[in-house]
Structure 1
Amino acid sequence: MDGLSSEEAARRLAADGPNRMVPARGHRGARLLIAQFTSPIVLILVAATVLSMVLGDLTDGMIILVIVAASGALGFWQEHSAGRAVDALLARVRVEVEVVRDGVEVSVPAEDVVVGDLVVLRAGDIVAADCVADESHSLLVDEAALTGESFPVEKRGGDKLFAGTHVVSGAGRAEVTRIGRDTEFAAVTAELASREVTTGFERGMTRFGLLLVRAMVVLVTMIFVVNLLLNRPIVDSVLFSLALAVGLTPQLLPAIVAVSLSAGARRMAAERVIVKRLDAIEDFGAMTILCTDKTGTLTAGAVRLDAALDPHGAPSPEVLRLARLNAALQQGFANPVDAAVLTGAPEIDQALRLDEVPYDFHRRRLSVLVDDGGTPTLVTKGALDSVLTACADAPDVGDLFERLSGDGYRVLGLAVKPLPGRTSVSSEDETGMTLAGVLAFHDPVKPGVAEAIADLARLGISVRLITGDNRLAAANIARQVGLTGPVCVGDEIDVHAQVFAEVDPLHKERIVRALRESGATVGFLGDGINDSPALHAADVGISVDTAVDVAKQSAAIVLLDKELAVVADGVRLGRRTFANTLKYVRVTVSANFGNMLSMAAASAFLPFLPLLPRQILLLNFLSDIPGTTIATDSVDPEQLERPRAWDVAGIRTFMIIFGLVSSVFDIATFLVLRLWLHADTDVFRTGWFVESTATELAVMLVLRTARPFYRSRPSWPLLGSSLAVGGLTVALPYTPLAAPLGLAPLSWGVLGVLAVLTAGYVAANEVAKRFTGREFGGR
């Protein structure tokens, strides 16, 4: 078959749309804009405001709606910009699919596959759509993502292949029958979603949200009841209480998080680390254990065949010749071991391939039926223990195996079996074979790996080696790179072990899950066909740009260089991003909590509302503006030295301590304005509005660091925006907007008193920081 023409493929793509399992990211259209206003509190506030306008308070209502709209627009713009930046990064690591177009094999993005395309499948490829096999060469497909079945399924001509599965071995072609949301995989998405791993960042955000809801319910109910007891109008009391509820909520948190994460993603991309799922950045920074494979990560990935030996340990040209036959004639998939054999063995006369039993991770061997000088002969290569089980009366090669493995060699067995008259074989023929000898491969340790592991240890990250190699070879490599802990073998799991050897793909997944259940935040670095389950099970799956498609798709983070040093750099950037996000959360929540407490206290003693609803919303909006620059802020080196994770108990403590400090100075402002300066209603509200905004801006600059604030320089965008908003706040009472906002000009004396109070507030926070002796909000 010649496949579709380019013109026909383009027409079908335009007609049917892209091959996506889920709708496109929603950061560009009206949906994102609407999402800024769909929180229950904002909806109730808007409804109450409309009611107030209907009852005659048109000006107040319009001002409140304008402030709410401005806040939502700011959040939309921030998230929209962040989404565009992430899309640009994801385009660098998208999965490509080989299809036949115009009779030629070409590579296209998976989203551009259309019904009728002829897809070319090889080991490691994702099946991008539902298909029907057109031709098959020992094609084995892993359907675990769809069916949960652990073992691969052989696909022959006419068999169905399903989107979301991947090729384990063999090769073939298949015609696409259904794409996107019409596929079988999309039909069971809801069921599969229930198996999704909840990341540490998601769990932390959920707990933080519950903390805010509980605090909000208590405060808003109390304030509303107080206002009713004081016989204030119900509508005014409702608007005031709802405005306080909005004020307590870090309204721009989704936008701040999106901006912070996208900025972190761009910085990480500059360090050759591509983030596919933004919330993985926090998990990257919080990582306490990194599980990694060996080849290409700890070792150079340049496998070299060092010896071909007979069962007695003597060099054997015949073993070398048979190994080359097996490697040269197999058609399952290209791999470093066969490439090393072909490089290390001399050229041989042309031999005829008759059939093949592809490699799989259950048998751990590969067999090729060759016509070797007129006699069909089965040549099998694989893990030595697996090959030995296929042999009859094999000689004892245990000492040879232990000597080579102890020296760091990977040892494979090679066996033969004449099959006269045969032209096809199956795995059942792998019995009664004769051991021809062993192959010893060497993959040297990468320069600088031991230093990179030590660097990760200084960051509080324990590296664990997970490999299919035998325990002796794995232990040898581990010693060379500084991993000296216990070694687990096969399906043994000890969360304290540093090396896991002789493991299969399901064991890798079980190890990752066991480590997570022990309380660790686990990263898994892998790039092979068998790494997908573990990548999905980890808090943060890490792969490389050269990985097979299934590994690259399963990972949340893709390295453009497979180097542990790159991981360490990415961890530091992840911690910086998380630290800046926590700055906004801690400071905003504590300042808002303090304002709400003092507002509740003042409303019980004043004959008028301390602030109008529109002033509360404007205060919240203005103080959030510098927060949009928090992603640019510098981070103290000590904040990068240890893994960081959500600590809701710490945030709660931080909120109470520094919220109470804020309340003390708010009440001091209340007393000074009311009892000393005898301010009237408008001047009182203006003074409190200016003081609340100024202190909230100042406290961001003070509490952004555990050091004395003058010893930690903020970024210029954060400092500049804080000063600009502070200047605007002081100037507002003297502009034409003052009257609609309920503000009045302040005398120089009042401004001087407010400046003194703000300076005292800064000093009090510095003292409180020293007495607490720690940084709350992140473990």
Structure 2
Amino acid sequence: KETYFGRVAKKTLEIKKETAYQKIANDFAKNIGFISIFVVLAVIIINLLKPNYSNFQELIIFAIVLAVAIVPEFLPTMTVLTLSLAGNKLAKRGLVIKRLSSIEDLGAIEILCTDKTGTITTNELKLKKIIAHNEEEFIKYFLADYYFTQEITPYEKAIIDSQIYTDRIELDKNDIFNSIYKNFEFIEYFEFDPVQRIKKMIVKENNEEIEIIKGAPENVLIYLYPSTNLEMQQINVDENQQNGSIVNYWLNIFENEDKNGFRTLALGIKKQRERRFLGIASFFDPLKETAYPAIQLAKSLNLEIKILTGDSLNVAKRTALELGLIDEKEKVILGEEIRNLPEDEARKIIKETKVFARVLPEDKLKIIEILQKDKFVGFLGEGINDAPALKIANVALAVDTASDVVKQEADIILKEKDLKTIVEGIYEGRKVLENIGKYIKHTMSDNFGNLTSVAVLTSILPFVPMTPLQVLLTNFLTDIPLIAFAGDNVKIKEVKKPLKMSSKHLILLLLILGIIAGLVNIFAYLIVRKEPKEIIQTFIFFITTMTGLIVSFLIRTKDWFIFSKPAKAFTLSSVLGIILTIIFVFLSPFKEIFSFASLNLKLIFYSLILILIFILGTEIVKKIFYNKFPDVI
């Protein structure tokens, strides 16, 4: 428990998290439940208080049917279908979803914390240049350990794949090494020493023993020239070099390369009577082709990207600048700068910083803990030390090549590390939330409308506004287009910010839309109030069902509905619902089954006027609401 790994395991076991969607959905369901129970009880009480009311059986059946109709019974089906379609799309893009609800949480991400290597860059080093008096000699000694050990590092591979190597070595590649090293004899190889930061190999060339030293430039220089005396042997390359010591000359080159964000390896040799610093090779890890488009998509989604890398400050800054994530004025913060800071000070720095370098696992945990106090955070981890940060993150992402411990903590597994894949997944997740929100807004605004009108009309009428069978039928017909919401079109501007399923704001919108629908139903009653019971019930049913079908077109977009383009499946299912409504109301034998009366042309004309009023009222209220609360789902 006192070891580093013990502390990591302890932190991992202590952390628990709840998904955003589950919490909001539970709150929303509770609020809807309370309102529904209240209204149903009110309907029963109002009817029971009427003088001489005796049809208790019809009232109880009607109340039960009304309670059933209020419940958004297709929501679980709609949610699973929407998530399944999205999960299938994401799987094709290389995202494996461990639990379907992760897709909803993916869409809620406001900040994505990711590493750099392999996600943003290719993780394949490329040679920038070799700085040496004799490049061919440099390459010969640089690749010697690869020839004799047959173990290639990314640095050797970068040189072999480079144009410099191809230009200098003109022989066929199959014969290159045998030709170069035919006069070499292997003696001994020393693995990389993390303290000295060098590795060595001893060979004989033409029977002369040579020690080849490769490693960090400053450490190779110290190994070759341990004396602090700057009056050292000069390598006559040019006049500028002769003006200073070998050490200062090469340190300046190294510092310049490091300052510009390039990785460097130095090479030197020691013979019995000679020691020479042969030069420096400068490398870089290029951006993936998908990295820049990923950042542009993230910007269009107002998704904040933060890089958490173990690389040096300069390497991290070069990548972020090349990517367009930061500008020259923005700082890159080292992990040690925030490690021991008080939370208030660290919070300000963490919120403002986009790139963190030389971060340790505990730094990642601290960064995510602080960010999650204000935002919804996704984190991409890979090493076993990332387990605590993965567990606490709202959405934990891991690569398929990660350890089992890491993958166990992850919500989503990436088949291949790629920033664009993650950002596209977040976009898909936001579309999922938007489409589920469409269903909730439709079914609940329609249900609230029914509740409002029924509550009012039951206090006026000596009978129920619709028969129990008619209530079930309108509920069925208005639900026909709703499943098609699962694959509906979503404009990118509608998900340009993380959507917030605010229970408070959503209920406010549904109440307002429900009141509009309820008022239209009340106006419908006023038009036919002097007609027989069957005509009143038929007319109210027709208006309720038609507005319930039409509202699906209105609430599926935050824009004016005439400027939006629904999916074909949604349009067809809505038209089907309208056709079926007309068939049930106007054609036998359905009229008799559902106790419908014939509606004359005058009532049909009035119904069109009421539907138009409903459309205008709903559109105006919707626009006002979303102008004030643009981020609410």
TM range (shorter): 0.7 to 0.9
The structure with the largest alpha-carbon Rg is 2
Higher relative contact order (CA 8 A, sep 6+): 2
**Aligned counterpart, 1:159:** none
Match 1:224 to one of 36, 39, 44: 44
| Pairs within 5 Å for 1:178-257 | 195-230=15-50, 231-232=53-54, 236-257=58-79
Task: Tell me the distance in 2 between the aligned counterparts of 1:488 and 1:355.
Answer: 33
Superposition deviation, residue 243 in structure 1 = 2.7
Say whether 1:540 aligns with 2:395.
yes
The 1:309/1:712 distance shift into structure 2, 3 A limit, reads: closer
Query: Which structure shows the bigger proportion of residues in helix conformation?
Result: 2
Q: Alignment partner of 1:148: what SS?
A: helix
The 1:335/1:321 distance shift into structure 2, 3 A limit, reads: closer
**Aligned counterpart, 2:275:** none
| Pairs within 5 Å for 1:714-729 | 714-729=566-581
Per-residue CA distance 1:696-740 (angstroms, 9 max, x = gap): 001111222233222212222112111212222222243445445
**Aligned counterpart, 2:235:** none
Superposition deviation, residue 316 in structure 1 = 8.5
**Aligned counterpart, 1:705:** 557
Match 2:86 to one of 264, 276, 288: 264
Q: Alignment partner of 2:116: what SS?
A: coil
**Aligned counterpart, 2:360:** 504
Task: Tell me the distance in 2 between the aligned counterparts of 1:364 and 1:619.
Answer: 77
Task: Tell me the distance in 2 between the aligned counterparts of 1:227 and 1:776.
Answer: 41
Q: Is the 8 A contact 1:582 1:777 kept in 2?
A: no
Q: Give the letter aligned to residue 297 of structure 2.
A: D
Superposition deviation, residue 497 in structure 1 = 0.8
Say whether 1:296 aligns with 2:150.
no
Give the fraction of aligned pairs with identical amino acids, expressed as a percent.
Answer: 29
The 1:318/1:714 distance shift into structure 2, 3 A limit, reads: closer
Q: Give the letter aligned to residue 767 of structure 1.
A: I
**Aligned counterpart, 1:654:** 509
Task: Tell me the distance in 2 between the aligned counterparts of 1:571 and 1:728.
Answer: 38
Match 2:334 to one of 484, 489, 505: 489
The 1:462/1:456 distance shift into structure 2, 3 A limit, reads: same
Superposition deviation, residue 614 in structure 1 = 3.4
Task: Tell me the distance in 1 between the aligned counterparts of 2:90 and 2:379.
Answer: 18
| Pairs within 5 Å for 1:27-426 | 147-148=9-10, 195-230=15-50, 231-232=53-54, 236-304=58-126, 402-410=255-263
Task: Tell me the distance in 2 between the aligned counterparts of 1:547 and 1:326.
Answer: 31
**Aligned counterpart, 1:758:** 611
Match 1:673 to one of 511, 523, 528: 528
**Aligned counterpart, 1:596:** 451
Q: Give the letter aligned to residue 262 of structure 1.
A: S
Q: Alignment partner of 2:451: what SS?
A: helix
Q: Give the letter aligned to residue 295 of structure 1.
A: T
Per-residue CA distance 1:659-716 (angstroms, 9 max, x = gap): 11111101011212223xx122x33222222221111001111222233222212222
Task: Tell me the distance in 2 between the aligned counterparts of 1:413 and 1:203.
Answer: 56
The 1:729/1:349 distance shift into structure 2, 3 A limit, reads: farther
Task: Tell me the distance in 1 between the aligned counterparts of 2:436 and 2:217.
Answer: 51
Q: Is the 8 A contact 2:190 2:200 kept in 1?
A: yes
Say whether 1:615 aligns with 2:470.
yes
Q: Is the 8 A contact 2:199 2:215 kept in 1?
A: no
The 1:531/1:239 distance shift into structure 2, 3 A limit, reads: same
**Aligned counterpart, 2:582:** 730
Q: Give the letter aligned to residue 367 of structure 2.
A: I
Task: Tell me the distance in 2 between the aligned counterparts of 1:401 and 1:487.
Answer: 21
Q: Alignment partner of 1:300: what SS?
A: coil
Report how many residues are paired: 551
Per-residue CA distance 1:732-766 (angstroms, 9 max, x = gap): 24344544544444444434433332233223223
The 1:512/1:372 distance shift into structure 2, 3 A limit, reads: farther
Q: Is the 8 A contact 1:523 1:540 kept in 2?
A: yes
Say whether 1:465 aligns with 2:307.
yes
Q: Alignment partner of 1:523: what SS?
A: strand
Task: Tell me the distance in 1 between the aligned counterparts of 2:213 and 2:55.
Answer: 88
**Aligned counterpart, 1:181:** none
Task: Tell me the distance in 2 between the aligned counterparts of 1:262 and 1:509.
Answer: 32
**Aligned counterpart, 1:778:** 632
Say whether 1:687 aligns with 2:529.
no
Per-residue CA distance 1:304-339 (angstroms, 9 max, x = gap): 5779999xxxx999996898699978xxxx985797
Q: Is the 8 A contact 1:286 1:643 kept in 2?
A: yes
Q: Is the 8 A contact 2:626 2:632 kept in 1?
A: no
Per-residue CA distance 1:50-81 (angstroms, 9 max, x = gap): xxxxxxxxxxxxxxxxxxxxxxxxxxxxxxxx
The 1:689/1:588 distance shift into structure 2, 3 A limit, reads: same
Task: Tell me the distance in 1 between the aligned counterparts of 2:488 and 2:285.
Answer: 43
Per-residue CA distance 1:229-259 (angstroms, 9 max, x = gap): 2355555444433333332222211111111
Unaligned runs of 5+ in 1: 1-139, 151-191, 358-362, 374-378, 388-392, 415-436
Higher deviation after alignment, 753-762 or 525-534: 525-534
The 1:144/1:384 distance shift into structure 2, 3 A limit, reads: farther
**Aligned counterpart, 2:370:** 514
Q: Alignment partner of 2:15: what SS?
A: coil
Q: Give the letter aligned to residue 487 of structure 1.
A: V
Superposition deviation, residue 386 in structure 1 = 13
Unaligned runs of 5+ in 2: 166-176, 205-211, 221-225, 229-246, 268-278, 339-345
Match 1:606 to one of 461, 464, 469: 461
Task: Tell me the distance in 1 between the aligned counterparts of 2:100 and 2:195.
Answer: 37
Superposition deviation, residue 647 in structure 1 = 2.2
Say whether 1:636 aligns with 2:478.
no
The 1:663/1:553 distance shift into structure 2, 3 A limit, reads: same
Q: Alignment partner of 2:571: what SS?
A: helix
